[in-house]
Amino acid sequence: MSGQGIAQFIPLILIFIIFYFFLIRPQQKRVKDHRSMVESLKRGDEIITSGGIIGTVDRLLEDDRIEVIIGDNVKVQIIKSTITSQLKKEEIKK
């Protein structure tokens, strides 16, 4: 009788394993990569925010904020988590 009970849970276990390797694990890797990218930012780096604004990091502030230059004499403070990507030097020249 207990062999049939375990056999009923095998499909559920397989579904969980598939979800882990195809959904959960890649998402954790993306979060880790984003966190390391944001922590490695320094003055002068070109960034893109989630709102589509391209700017240059001017200074790092406390409380998870960054001051970004988005135009001539225009500085804004943004939250680090809203940064979607960092432009590479080769991308800037194109």
Residue-wise pLDDT tens digits, 22-60: 999 999 999 999 999 999 999 999 999 999 999 999 999
Both 47 and 8 in one domain: the answer is no
pTM tops 0.75: no
Both 55 and 89 in one domain: the answer is yes
- How far does CA 80 lie from the centroid of its chain? 10
Both 32 and 47 in one domain: the answer is no
Both 34 and 52 in one domain: the answer is no
Both 47 and 92 in one domain: the answer is yes
Both 54 and 14 in one domain: the answer is no
Both 52 and 6 in one domain: the answer is no
> Which residues constitute the domain of residue 87?
42-94
Distance set, CA 51 to CA 29, 41, 48 (Å): 23, 18, 8
